[in-house]
Amino acid sequence: MTRTDGGTGGPGVRLEFDGQLAVLTIDRPEVRNAIGFATMDELGAALDEVVKSPAGVLVLRGGGDRAFVSGGDLKELSAIKTHDDALNMAVRVRRLLDRLANLPIPVIAALNGHALGGGAEVAVSADIRIAADDVSIGFNQVTLGIMPAWGGVERLGLLVGRGRALLAIASGEIYDAPTALRLGLVDIVVPRASFEDEWRGLARRLAELAPGTGRAIKSVLNAAIPASYPELEGQATEAFANLWISDAHWAAVEALPRRRTP
């Protein structure tokens, strides 16, 4: 993790502070900001830094303009072959995103690019999603014979309702930004040309609230509508691990290069 305005360093995650505003960038554009094992560690360290800081708002974004987060790094995760390893990976990332969702300050996901699969799970772990008008978002894990396991099922259900969540996950449909806005999957859609100004403006307005206001509002909301469901962790990750080791999943992984060929 690299940090500006003082801090620690590493290659895949960048943390910047600008007064009360913290900006956390998953900066791996060469793999569409996919989350690998080192990225998990760096994100955890970055959240530690944010908690210790006086930041009033956290913005999460991806490096470049092609992807917010494309999900797990398939090249790294393809080494996971056993049920226990799949279970451990799912629990590890789920708890990381639960930490993000439960931060005491408001969290904004700035969707600078597409958020697919695990990337959509990262997006819905934020409190607010602002998207450029040319991005897409979708829970398309089903195309690999698996399901969301990082808390996305529960959080998506809260955002769009049970039926729409089931339909989105079971179909693997990828939604353009206007459709995602209409469904309630994102909260704000802005033109690409003004995207950087818009998300920074929103973040600064929240960061400039009277001291403690953002934390107080979020604490009440989290009491009324929990941001995470640890009691469902076992069921969700077990179901994911069983799908991960299935023949259907590995057949879909092997077919992936052919599907990506123009």
Rounded alpha-carbon distances, angstroms, from residue 12 to 6, 91, 103, 130, 215: 17, 21, 21, 23, 28
Mean pLDDT of the chain: 94
Distance CA(256)–CA(7), nearest Å, equals: 39
Quick one: pLDDT at residue 10? 56
Q: What percentage of the chain reaches a pLDDT higher than 70? A: 95
Indicate if the pLDDT at residue 49 is higher than 90: yes
- Say if residue 105's pLDDT is above 80: yes
Query: Rounded CA gap, 232 and 219, in Å?
Result: 21
Side chain identity at 196, as an amino acid letter? E
- Can you tell me the distance from the alpha carbon of 158 to that of 229, in angstroms, rounded to the nearest whole number? 11
- pLDDT tens by residue, 128-169: 999 999 999 999 999 999 999 999 999 999 999 999 999 999
Helix (H) or strand (E) holding 115: strand 114-116
pTM for the model: 0.94
Report the SS3 class of residue 16. Answer: strand
Residue spans of the domains in the chain: they are 2-194+205-260
| Beta strands at 128-132 and 107-111: parallel, antiparallel or unpaired | parallel
State the pLDDT confidence band at 262, using cuts at 50, 70 and 90.
Answer: very low
2-194+205-260 CATH fold: 2-enoyl-CoA Hydratase; Chain A, domain 1 (3.90.226)
